[in-house]
A and B are shown apart, each in its own frame.
Chain A
């Protein structure tokens, strides 16, 4: 974009809930490194091409230090919500410290563990669908299935009692929304959530179970160190938030995308072996994944032939990158058998989603169980009447009304 041209507002609004804004394709073609203004009024640089997004996310010079003095603030909400919360400052965000932390947690999210967890996720999905069917249609698939399932799974992994699970919805909403809550409300939610988690960890220390947090308390990292209490609290909070809203919304969006053109649903009914690749394709084509990933540079770096000065805040649009025609054939088409599908919905590089094997397992199981239990499932409203949630960090649909 040349000097003096109008600066684009980001996020760029879409006309319908499931379709991307037209500007993405234009930006990829004409302005892959674009100046944008964020809801806070601060300026940032938007990256929209696949190769550039992948490069930025994989390059450690693009840091997550969004709390630097001259980093762009995302929202008017002073603290910047989740990006600058205590969780982001207590846990090591880069280099060796981050790797030590990550490797202590990773073993809980391996492919094998997820396969072992599968039957329990399936039983839970069946139970939630029983309840939805009992109440009758039309039903909101998001409230009946999308939201409760991932919360249940992550709480189970963390050993959080069933009765406390509703409270997490409020806390993560307050920290992830960025627009609906005042600074005081966000601070209060953050403090309550941290207090709750500290109490939970004290209880686990006194009476350990076989859950992730109990084991993490006694574990040591590769350098032989125990995780300090603040780190345990932040890890528990981080996993609950990361594992909850993203997956919950993705379940709703995936099912809506597949039902928006019922031929897709029928293709899956005829060939359930497509479930795995269909899940990847829904992740790739999610036009409403939320804000994207912000990064901050403390030195000059070149991207797509443009030199970005130190102090630049860069926003990566993975959703735009995932529609890059130079990487994906017929990028705008939903191809349920697409393979390979190297989409960037989970990011890339050292910070690439730690819970992606879990998220994939949950999405696959939900889809399998829905196809088996409710083959006649359809949207109860026209797809263009679906509405997006207003939050900023994680995108989703307000409701996914269905009947069967």
Chain B
């Protein structure tokens, strides 16, 4: 799985960080998403999929077969 984030769309709601702190963080100065791990380990895939589906700004993109 390959993860990418769109900083311009991100509204800093922090849902992704609450769900998968191993993969996502937020910048200290404006709360915008920081991708910590582009290719998260297998056991994180479910929670990363959940983060992408609940992100209110649709700012998280996944490509499953990368």
Listed A/B pairs (12) with beta-carbon separation below 8 Å: A106-B26, A106-B30, A106-B32, A110-B14, A111-B14, A111-B26, A112-B25, A222-B30, A341-B54, A347-B56, A352-B11, A357-B18
What mask results when residues 1 to 30 of chain B are scored 1 for a CB within 8 Å of chain A, else 0? Answer: 000000000011111011001000111111
Interface size, A (range): 20 to 34
A340 at the interface (CB under 8 A from B): yes
Judging by beta carbons under 8 Å apart, are B11 and A350 in contact?
Answer: yes
Judging by beta carbons under 8 Å apart, are B31 and A350 in contact?
Answer: no
Judging by beta carbons under 8 Å apart, are A103 and B13 in contact?
Answer: no
CA distance in complex: A360, B30 (Å): 20
What mask results when residues 38 to 71 of chain A are scored 1 for a CB within 8 Å of chain B, else 0? Answer: 0000000000000000000010000000000000
A375 at the interface (CB under 8 A from B): no
Judging by beta carbons under 8 Å apart, are A106 and B31 in contact?
Answer: yes
CA distance in complex: A342, B56 (Å): 8
Residue from B30, B56, B58 in contact with A346 in the complex, judged by beta carbons closer than 8 Å? B56
CA distance in complex: A106, B12 (Å): 6
A349 in contact with B11 given A103-B30, A107-B30 (CB within 8 Å): yes
A264 at the interface (CB under 8 A from B): no
B28 to chain A, nearest CB (A): 6
Which residues in window 244-286 of A have CB below 8 A to B?
A: none
What mask results when residues 28 to 66 of chain B are scored 1 for a CB within 8 Å of chain A, else 0? Answer: 111110000000000000000110011011100000000
Judging by beta carbons under 8 Å apart, are B58 and A103 in contact?
Answer: no
Smallest Cβ-Cβ distance to A100: which chain B residue: B30
With A103-B31, A107-B28, A112-B25 given, name 5 new contacts (CB 8 A).
A102-B12, A103-B30, A111-B21, A354-B12, A356-B13
B18 — which chain A residues lie within 8 A by C-beta? 111, 114, 357, 360
Judging by beta carbons under 8 Å apart, are A340 and B56 in contact?
Answer: no
A348 at the interface (CB under 8 A from B): yes
What mask results when residues 345 to 365 of chain A are scored 1 for a CB within 8 Å of chain B, else 0? Answer: 011111111101100100000
Judging by beta carbons under 8 Å apart, are A114 and B14 in contact?
Answer: yes
A3 at the interface (CB under 8 A from B): no
Judging by beta carbons under 8 Å apart, are B12 and A340 in contact?
Answer: no
Judging by beta carbons under 8 Å apart, are A112 and B49 in contact?
Answer: no
CA distance in complex: A341, B55 (Å): 10
Smallest Cβ-Cβ distance to B17: which chain A residue: A111
A349 in contact with B28 given A106-B12, A109-B12, A111-B17 (CB within 8 Å): no
